[in-house]
Amino acid sequence: MSALVLYDTTQQWGWLGELYGIMVGNLVSHFGSWTAMPVLSYTAGGMNNYSAVIYIGSTYGEPLPTAFLDDVLATSKPVVWAYDNIWQLTARAPNFASTYGWMWSGFDLSTVAQVNYQGQQLKRYSANGAGIMNYFSPMDSGVTVLATAVRPDGSTFPWALRSRNLTYIGENPLVYIAEGDRYLAFCDLLFDTLAPTTTIRHRALVRLEDIDPTYDPTVLRNVANYLSSQGVPFGFQMIPYYTDPLGYYTGGVPETIRLRDAPALVNAIRYMQQHGGVLIEHGYTHQYSNVANPYTGVTGDLFVRIMQHKAGEIEGFTRQYKCNRLVYYESYEDVRVAIAREKQIKRWRRSKKIFLIEKINPRWADLAEHWGQKMLFRGQGMEEIS
């Protein structure tokens, strides 16, 4: 199997297209060989040398080569088209609706937080306001709706569909990816395109992360028992040195616990290994001196996200390490630029992140300390706002 991956490159944010091309290439590599290139570099007959074609339309109005459009319409090979510029393809074929059995109507800008796929309810970042393509009704019987987007009122519309050899996904599935995301549907759809005869196998691989000397040995033993009984291979990542130099959890009293100080946990580690677990060192410690852990994220609503962090409503790293103070932020009009900036900062060394923060906030003050509080105006007493 060989796949041709095509991506956009023009306009202000066109450089993101190459990143999406690399992401798709990584997925396709599980099936065979692949070549990624800008769609503008496509020449007539280029897809003849490949088993399938995948195009990620990330730039609205990318000037697609006529040769590419004509070859997509003429080929019998599987084609996956995601998001933008599908209108250029339909405009190239006056009989597109009668040939393929469907026609786009425009982007649906509903707040979609869920995508249903093969009986699974997958997540979607609801603040992603880029829209998902919708369609005129009715569709022909030859059109298969592969997944549906769910609006807040419970109504649905197609998220992905297939007709003949063309699979169309109504948004870019490579942005705002999280655990249990609709990105998984995109990954699974690649099997239909690249390896349709693959036998269905329900496999799992579990990684237990951030286990430090404070963990409950009984819980770890129970997890090992369950995973072992289900035949699920698992790894577990250890942090042998736990330290809380600021005493966040102990009323201001610094605390340090080494793995050697937790013999019951050491026995649980050996127990997990005996039940098939693979031990991995996950760093010596996760605490940087006596400076608070800087966490980098992206959001479409900074106020709401900060309030959620302060209330401990978001599971994961931020709740575990009490990341609930805003010390730095940047604003962007294009969400794709914000995501790219987030990824850039996350790759930085901690020292560089700290330098960025302290340029504008040398004392690490909580910039959102008073967010959500009622305001007291001149001449107004406290009893008037209570």
- For the chain, what are the domain ranges? 2-194, 206-281, 294-386
Would you call 90 helix, strand, or coil by DSSP?
A: helix
Neighbouring CB atoms inside 10 A of 179's CB total 9
Whether the pLDDT of residue 308 is over 90: the answer is no
Residue 29 is given by DSSP the state T
Q: Which helix (H) or strand (E) holds 23?
A: helix 16-28
Q: Cβ neighbours of residue 235 under 8 Å, at least 6 residues apart? A: 206, 207, 208, 277, 278, 279, 280
Give the pLDDT of residue 265.
Answer: 96
Check: CB of residue 241 under 8 Å from CB of residue 259.
yes
Neighbouring CB atoms inside 10 A of 64's CB total 21
Check: CB of residue 94 under 8 Å from CB of residue 266.
no
Q: How confident is the prediction for the chain on average, in pLDDT?
A: 90
Between residues 199 and 73, the one the model is more confident about: 73
Amino acid at 17: G
Between residues 259 and 127, the one the model is more confident about: 259
Q: What is the pLDDT of residues 278-301, one digit of tens each?
A: 999 888 887 756 666 678 888 888
Specify the fold of 206-281. Rossmann fold (3.40.50)
For the residues 91-117, what does the mean pLDDT come to?
Answer: 96
Whether the pLDDT of residue 127 is over 60: the answer is yes
Q: Which helix (H) or strand (E) holds 53?
A: strand 52-57
Closest to 186 (Cα-Cα) out of 204, 198, 200, 174: 174
pTM of the model: 0.66
User: Would you place residue 382 in the very low, low, confident or very high pLDDT band (cuts 50, 70, 90)?
Assistant: very low
For the residues 208-214, what does the mean pLDDT come to?
Answer: 91
Residue 339 is given by DSSP the state H
∠ at Cα 202 (165, 268), nearest 5°?
145
Answer whether 2-194 and 206-281 agree in fold. Answer: yes
Give the pLDDT of residue 364.
Answer: 84
Q: Tokens representing 380? A: 């107004």
Amino acid at 332: Y
Q: What is the pLDDT of residues 359-373, one digit of tens each?
A: 888 888 888 888 876
- Which CATH code, of 3.30.1280.10, 3.30.9.10, 3.40.50.880, 3.30.950.10, is assigned to 2-194? 3.40.50.880
Give the pLDDT of residue 123.
Answer: 95
Whether the pLDDT of residue 377 is over 70: the answer is no
